[in-house]
Homo-oligomer: A and B are copies of this chain.
């Protein structure tokens, strides 16, 4: 499949394992962001994956694209612009000390994106899937407008659209609530990934059980074909459990529950799952259970790869689905 992932890529700065930000004498340099992470996963899974964004033409900007190219993602349609590359500081947690994120993305190329800057009809020509996330709409009114433009054109061109709701409490500072922006855009999506909290915040959809919630969702967004949810239990910063659920309007399939002990880097877990969904749903609706099992196994493996990107191959993911939980040295 040719897939377009649209969003912001950021410079991620984090101290060495176990250190707090105020102690750092060095930062590990990683480039990532929700939609970029999906693009890399899809490239590693064998798809023709494109990342579209607006990036300043300076060293950090070029380095961010290089980080994507390194794993096969095409970036030719990304446009130069904006004064700075967005940054986020990540203080990775451990045990009882949770991870902290400080966003420093004000004034970035994507935050100052305007409708009309990207020639979407050209970009989307011949593509099989379009993916965006709620993060972009949280940056600024103009970024939200530009995102809406992209989704509308994709739908118009008959391209399936997926959205990861991705609620970030520290964003949404431009005077709008998600509920004023997101519902009309969610309506245009084929697949939506979220969690009960974001369904409520974005669209007021709630439910005391999964089935209630999904029914309420279906009632409000009849156009959406698939809804996926993740259930993460955060026991500590380095020990979570994780499960995915996928609903096709009719039935909801739940994946195996993964016990994620000794986690390495949880950033990008949901993005790995999103990529797994796109990978699976592209084959058709008959693979609902396999799709959510695959996507969740991909997400589980992401927790053990440093950086934002999941670099797990289809073989490795299917290995975990078959029960290879890492205890054997492959030699």
Chain A residues engaging chain B, CB cutoff 8 angstroms: 13, 16-29, 58-60, 62-63, 66-67, 69-72, 83-84, 87, 89, 91, 93-104, 106-107, 168-170, 232-240, 258, 260-267, 300-301, 303-307, 311-312, 316, 319-320, 324-331
Residue in contact with A103 in the complex, picked from B87, B326, B331, CB distance below 8 Å: B331
A23 surroundings in chain B (CB, below 8 A) = 63, 306-307, 311
Whether A261 pairs with B234 at a CB distance below 8 angstroms is no
- Asked whether, in the complex, the Cβ of A301 is within 8 Å of the Cβ of B25, the reply is no
* B18 contacts A25, C-beta separation under 8 Å: no
B267 in contact with A238 (CB, 8 Å) = no
Task: Return the contact of A327 from the options B13, B104, B237, B306 (Cβ within 8 A).
Answer: B237
Note all chain B residues with C-beta closer than 8 A to A169.
Answer: 331
Is there an interface contact between A301 and B96, defined as CB atoms closer than 8 Å? yes
Q: Nearest Cβ in chain B — how far from A252, in angstroms?
A: 24
Complex interface: chain B residues within 8 A of A107 (CB): 106-107
The residue from B58, B101, B305 contacting A102, defined by CB atoms under 8 A apart: B58
Nearest-neighbour CB distance to chain B for A77, whole angstroms, equals: 15
